[in-house]
Amino acid sequence: MAALEPALEGFTVLACTGSHALLSLAVVAYPRIDLWADSIEALLALPIPEQGPLLLACTDDLPDGSVLELIMQLRRTLAGRPMLVVAVLDASTDPLRLKALAEEGVQGLCCSHAVGNGQLLSALSAVLHGGSFVDAGFAAQLRQPSHSGSRFGSPSCLSRRERAVLEQTSKGYNTEEIAAHMGLRPDTVRRYLSEAYQKIGVRDRAQAVLWCCFHGLVTQRELQQVFR
């Protein structure tokens, strides 16, 4: 680990994880964790130094949001501060989420099943020396020509109403607001949304937001508004 010390000079090291086991691994990989929290809210409340670059190691098991939400909130709060990110994700993480994290500039994507085999240390070393690190399984998914094939439906499979409700949901509007805007009953909005989820192959609002972003139905700026 001593080889990382010169590269870490001037960095503030942050860890945000709901997994104490993974935190222990992080401490073994690099004992100098300056600030640690188990939720997005707790991390943002910590006295993060106002100067200097940041190194963030995080997992996707936070109780109040995803890794993507954490990164976007940190970047908005820290107003453009240099930040390197190594994220530890479950092996079942869907391709849309992987693509969104890669496009958001996450330099290290580790698999939780492999971090105990030295992968976390390899990722930290790679990103601190100006490179990137992607778990082999995740890399294979990211190389696929399309992440919206058999598993995820395309926008053309949606009706006009379903698409409109999905777009509004992904922009942060709740059921009642969408119903008022579109002149529909709230239960009708929920039905359109449920049918849209089934057609495009997502389970929840977070996946729907990523799907809409991937297909250009919401912009990066609108996505940032959702996670404000």
- Read off the CATH number of the domain in which 102 is found: 3.40.50.2300
Of 113, 143, 173, which residue constitutes the final position of a domain? 143
Give the pLDDT confidence score for residue 28 in this predicted structure: 57
Three-state DSSP state, 124 = helix
Does one domain contain both 167 and 220? yes
Does one domain contain both 187 and 209? yes
Residue 161 lies in a domain: yes
Rounded CA separation 104/4 (Å)? 25
Does one domain contain both 42 and 77? yes
Residues of the chain with pLDDT under 70: 1-6, 20-31, 145-152, 219-228
Tell me the sheet residues that pair with 89: 111
Judge contact between 63 and 42, C-beta under 8 A. Answer: no
Number of domains in the chain: 2
Does an H or E element contain 54, and which?
Answer: strand 54-59
Give the pLDDT confidence score for residue 184 in this predicted structure: 93
Give the pLDDT confidence score for residue 149 in this predicted structure: 43
Give the pLDDT confidence score for residue 185 in this predicted structure: 93
Give the pLDDT confidence score for residue 25 in this predicted structure: 58
Give the pLDDT confidence score for residue 152 in this predicted structure: 66
Three-state DSSP state, 156 = helix
Give the pLDDT confidence score for residue 148 in this predicted structure: 44
Give the pLDDT confidence score for residue 21 in this predicted structure: 62
Read off the pTM: 0.66
Of 143, 172, 204, which residue constitutes the final position of a domain? 143
- Domain of residue 184 covers 155-226
